Chain A
Amino acid sequence: MNLQSSANEPAIELVGIDKKFGAVHANKNINLSVGKGSIHGIIGENGAGKSTLMSILYGFYHADEGEIRIQGRPVSIRDSQAAIAAGIGMVHQHFMLVENFTVLENVMLGAEGGQLLAKGVAGARKELKRLETDYGLEVDPDALIEELPVGRQQRVEILKALYRGADILILDEPTGVLTPAEADHLFRILQVLRDQGKTIILITHKLREIMAITDTVSVMRRGEMVATRKTAETTVAELAELMVGRRVLLRVEKQEAKPGPVLLSVKNLIVKDGRGVTMVDDVSFDVRAGEIVGIAGVAGNGQSELLEALAGIRKPVSGEIFIDGKPVEAADPALLRQLGLAHIPEDRHHMGLVLKFEEYENSILGYHHDPRYGRGAMLDLDAIRRQAEEQIAKYDIRPPNAQLKTANFSGGNQQKIVVAREIERDPKMLLIGQPTRGVDIGAIEFIHRRIIEMRDTGKAVLLVSVELDEIRSLSDRILVMFAGKIVGEKPSDADEQTLGLMMAGIAA
């Protein structure tokens, strides 16, 4: 398995890396070598051990066994400072930026260069300018982070790593939060970086991205490194099969929808965000029993706020929501759940889950008053654990341990915990935001099947996703949202071009 990923000498070599978390064997004797000046992709199912391996490389975790060699020299990476010193930079999936600092201040943070700020600031400004011209990473050094769109924030993360002299850049699922245009831009930057001799490791679940940008790709499965390929010599189908160990349907099959009566109806809804900006602008639509309505749109065009308003989390400024023909009186998630509305939120880390809780505690979040989980004031922990274990088995959540802290599940498995909880309630209506963000292709297939099953059993499903492919393959009708308005409706077989133009606000 010591297939060298490029003709160049290796920038990184991992030899016999092994890591266990209690009973979970997260990395099993991993050997990997990444050539200098190349982009190397790592793919694998949720929980395969990708993030763990990168955390070992970046000094967050220590390998139980094995050796790391950087530019041919064995190194001991005991913490992230050591990783930085060894020339390794990491762009975290959840950005580690100080929101109310400027770009410049964030880049300098922890590398101020002496007690006096002024000298460092001038130097940093110059250095930032240089990085900008060398790599095409333009950002305004004086902009506040909180005012930048996610794509820009991510660029700041990259700048931070480069500023600290990184030659090796690790990106763990960097495109999960980006719009397609932002992702394209990121890839152009990565290509420039590679051409300048930097080495890049990219973790992603999107095989399209792997094919588009990597030079070599490795596949992990259940803690093992099972294959390494030259990207030019492989196909999406082969990679998918290597990942999951079986053939994967890349497109779900479904029957014609049989829409019934209107279950969810929205009339002239206006929603503002925390700063008072109108995000949902006079939106009306219906969702019928037995159909999936997809809302397509570039992230940030009001879909998130629409979903939150429908779920009772955000109070609309005006407009009406009807469930089963009856107006919803109050913005109250508990009340809406009683009316048969389930909600898979876009943001699983802040809304859908309490990361510090054990898995079984999250399996009742929002439904903890259900008498099934305990009579009166008490919780029946046995009953809760039992149903959590059933969900774990049914949704193949790994590791199958209801008592594990939720933060210790891999990203995709966390998503499955939320999906399992909401779908297993057998609701009448289902609101879904980004159901497969960070989820591997095997699990995407599984979640998509569940969503279609919901539809086929007569539920009303409203789906919001920034993945146009997902919207197109699941929805029976597609509403396109732009700048807070619904700018048009298309059938599910509408072509990508037309939808893309509508999403950009160009044609209706």
Chain B
Amino acid sequence: MSTASVPLPAWINYGVIPLLNLVLAFFFSGLVVWAIGENPFDALNFLIQGALGRGDAIGFTLFYATSFIFTGLAVAVAFHAGLFNIGAEGQAYVGGLGAALVALSLDHYVPWYVTMPFAVIGAALFGAAWAFIPAWLQAKRGSHVVITTIMFNFIAATLMVYLLVNVFIVPGKMAPETRTFLAGGQLPKLDWLMALFGLKLGPAPFNVSFIIALVMCYLVWLLIWRTKLGYEMRTLGVSPTAAVYAGIPYVRTVIIAMLISGGLAGMMSLNAVMGASARLQVEFVAGAGFVGIAVSLMGRSHPVGIILAAILFGILYQGGADLSFEMPNITRDMIVVIQGLVIFFAGALEYMLRPAMVRLYQTATGK
């Protein structure tokens, strides 16, 4: 309590503390690896090599990171308005429907760069629509958005399975998925970008949606810190009573914030559906919506922080997959444990090291 109010310089707050948290997370992960009889240093080596060692490894890492940037931004935007959107998973899933509908209807006729803007809009609209009902219930009825968005994740999951099995399935096929999009419905890979750094992308699905994600980072930054709407959202998020005083309309602000949040989550599907698999499949979101919560938390709800945190989680995803391949003792579940430890230390225990840092800082500066 006493140290909480002591200000620390930014380089400690945003540099040293997150780094130490990460080191701690890796230390405890190392203990886990060691406990099951593997060498933690080898494991770390495999993880890093697997995520960053080759061109295609980096491609996969950035592919995952792209999804996490979208969902991380989604969670952050809602968070600035004081809303905890746990529903990015479901919003991304339904967003995929929007992206797929655009791709399926345009891919015969136009090249990808014509399809893309419509797909962005489609994905965002469907994601936003899925966030609308929880938003409306929160704004008008006071039903807590945490609960309703969780419920809407489940509804989205069943709804999408129903649609894929009964509506979109290609006749005569077993797999619950749409037909494969033609080139006009696919987002091209970023081979050229990798080539600039002398790397070969190989089979990795790193694609144009990465650039869309970076543009969204900029737009979100603009929205939150440079627009009147962002100002209203932040006021509401930090001080609901001051928002009332200032005449900031609660219902409208909550709904708009959730729509933007849902829209960003929906755009995650561009990466997975149009960038990677070129078709809509069941469960393509694969937990990215939940990782977005951790990414936003770690990135302090700031786009730059979100990019960095998304890349970190990209590394864990891609490197982790490689690790479990190289060390069969370390199963997929073990990787999830390691990811959990990172979330735990970097997110939940964000403040654990703070008092110690304050003491250290005070002694170091002679206070």
Given A374-B228, A379-B231, does the pair A80, B245 have CB atoms closer than 8 Å?
no
Nearest B residue to A364, CB-CB = B231
A-B contacts, 29 listed (Cβ < 8 Å): A63-B367, A64-B366, A79-B2, A81-B2, A313-B245, A332-B247, A333-B246, A333-B247, A334-B247, A335-B247, A336-B247, A351-B242, A352-B245, A353-B242, A354-B234, A354-B238, A357-B235, A361-B231, A365-B235, A365-B242, A365-B245, A365-B246, A368-B231, A368-B232, A377-B227, A378-B226, A378-B228, A379-B231, A381-B226
Top 4 A-B pairs ranked by shortest CB distance? A334-B247, A79-B2, A333-B247, A366-B246
User: Is B329 an interface residue, CB under 8 A from the partner?
Assistant: no
Interface size on A, residues (CB 8 A): 42
Q: Can you list, as one digit per residue, whether each of B214-240 has a CB less than 8 Å from chain A (1) or not (0)?
A: 000000000000111101101100110
B226–chain A nearest beta-carbon distance, Å = 6
Tell me the residues in window 21-61 of chain A with beta carbons closer than 8 Å to chain B beta carbons.
21, 59-61
Interface residues on B, range: 20 to 34
Given A60-B5, A79-B2, A334-B247, does the pair A350, B241 have CB atoms closer than 8 Å?
yes
Beyond the given A79-B3, A365-B235, A366-B245, please list 10 additional residue pairs across the A-B interface where CB-CB is below 8 A: A334-B246, A350-B241, A354-B238, A361-B231, A374-B228, A377-B227, A377-B229, A379-B226, A379-B227, A381-B226
Query: Quick one: which of B228, B242, B362 has the most chain A CB within 10 A?
Result: B242
Nearest A residue to B227, CB-CB = A377
A285–chain B nearest beta-carbon distance, Å = 23
User: Is A78 an interface residue, CB under 8 A from the partner?
Assistant: yes
Q: Across the interface, do A368 and B246 meet the contact criterion of CB distance under 8 Å?
A: yes
Q: Across the interface, do A312 and B247 meet the contact criterion of CB distance under 8 Å?
A: yes
Report which A residues bind B (CB closer than 8 A). Answer: 21, 59-64, 78-81, 311-313, 332-337, 343, 345, 347, 350-357, 361, 364-366, 368-369, 374, 377-379, 381
B301–chain A nearest beta-carbon distance, Å = 13
User: Is B193 an interface residue, CB under 8 A from the partner?
Assistant: no
User: Which residues from chain B contact A345 at a C-beta distance below 8 Å?
Assistant: 245
A440–chain B nearest beta-carbon distance, Å = 23
Q: Across the interface, do A333 and B231 meet the contact criterion of CB distance under 8 Å?
A: no
Tell me the residues in window 1-47 of chain B with beta carbons closer than 8 Å to chain A beta carbons.
1-3, 5-7
A25–chain B nearest beta-carbon distance, Å = 14
Complex CA–CA separation, A49 to B367 (angstroms): 18
User: Which residues from chain A contact B248 at a C-beta distance below 8 Å?
Assistant: 334
User: Which residues from chain A contact B228 at a C-beta distance below 8 Å?
Assistant: 368-369, 374, 377-379
User: Which residues from chain A contact B226 at a C-beta distance below 8 Å?
Assistant: 378-379, 381
A/B pair count, beta carbons within 8 Å: 86
Q: Across the interface, do B362 and A62 meet the contact criterion of CB distance under 8 Å?
A: yes
User: Which residues from chain A contact B238 at a C-beta distance below 8 Å?
Assistant: 354, 356-357
User: Which residues from chain B contact A355 at a C-beta distance below 8 Å?
Assistant: 239
Complex CA–CA separation, A472 to B367 (angstroms): 48
The residue from A351, A357, A378 contacting B245, defined by CB atoms under 8 A apart: A351
A375–chain B nearest beta-carbon distance, Å = 10
User: Which residues from chain B contact A313 at a C-beta distance below 8 Å?
Assistant: 244-245
Q: Across the interface, do A333 and B244 meet the contact criterion of CB distance under 8 Å?
A: yes
Query: Quick one: which of B231, B232, B249 has the most chain A CB within 10 A?
Result: B231
A18–chain B nearest beta-carbon distance, Å = 10
User: Which residues from chain A contact B234 at a C-beta distance below 8 Å?
Assistant: 354, 357
Q: Across the interface, do A354 and B242 meet the contact criterion of CB distance under 8 Å?
A: yes
User: Which residues from chain B contact A357 at a C-beta distance below 8 Å?
Assistant: 234-235, 238
Complex CA–CA separation, A365 to B238 (angstroms): 13
Nearest B residue to A19, CB-CB = B367
The residue from A337, A354, A381 contacting B239, defined by CB atoms under 8 A apart: A354
